[in-house]
Structure 1
Amino acid sequence: MIIAAGLFEVVMAYSLKLSAGFSVPLPSIGFAVSAVLSFGLLALALRSLEVGTAYAVWTGIGAVGTAVAGMVVLGENASPMKIASIALILAGVVGLNLAGGGH
């Protein structure tokens, strides 16, 4: 559930970009739907996961997924510093899970 919630967070951010400040209807609707799904799945996942780890995984998936989507789909800058920062986020999420916070 937490992985799906994180993926919907990526869709939410991507839709927000495409909505052009909520002036384009379809991406604006996509933003709202994906936000509800993302937060809803996060809430369900929190029934069985520690809040700190769950939130870190959720935001980690969202941050990494959104950064990668921006670079791959939107042609945003893919500097070495950006790639290294993404790797650090991933390392932090994996570390939290290895520390026993995940199921």
Structure 2
Amino acid sequence: MAWVWLLVAGVLEVVWALALKQSNGFTRWVPNVVMAAGLFASFWFLSLAFKEIPMGTAYAVWTGIGAAGIAILGMVLYGEPISLARIGFLVMVLIGIAGLKLAA
């Protein structure tokens, strides 16, 4: 279950980061609440994953899921630049996450 908790934590990291963007500098109430709840829940699930997965591996996977997820959604939802280089480096992040899972 630890890997499931880690995946949930990573997805929630994407949720709170998106809500942070939507909060417009903490000026909008609903995105602020979503961000705070997502942040708390993300850390909680990460702490559950730490019980069984080595801390370095879990943290790297968690941040990788968040970074890749936000980069992809930034391109899709916010019109951030899309280039072969960005996509290639995102693929490398995802390969790194898979490698850490396999090596754990």
Alignment TM-score, normalising by the size of structure 1: 0.93
2:86 pairs with 1:96? no
Shift of 1:97: 1.6
Task: Give 2:29's match in structure 1, choosing from 19, 25, 28.
Answer: 25
Shift of 1:72: 0.9
Per-residue CA distance 1:15-58 (angstroms, 9 max, x = gap): 11110110011111111000000000000111111111111111
Q: What is the aligned residue count?
A: 100
1:84 maps to which of 77, 85, 88 = 88
Q: Which residue of structure 2 lines up, in the alignment, with residue 64 of structure 1?
A: 68
2:56 is matched with: 52
Task: Select which of 1, 7, 11 maps to 2:11.
Answer: 7
Unaligned runs of 5+ in 1: none
User: What secondary structure does 2:78 align onto?
Assistant: coil
In structure 2, the gaps of 5 or more residues are none
More helix by share: 2
* SS class of match (1:76): coil
Q: CA deviation digits over 1:46-77, x for unaligned, max 9?
A: 11111111111111110111111111111211
Give the counterpart letter for 1:4 in structure 2.
Answer: V
Q: TM-score, normalised by structure 2?
A: 0.92
Letter in 1 for 2:56: G
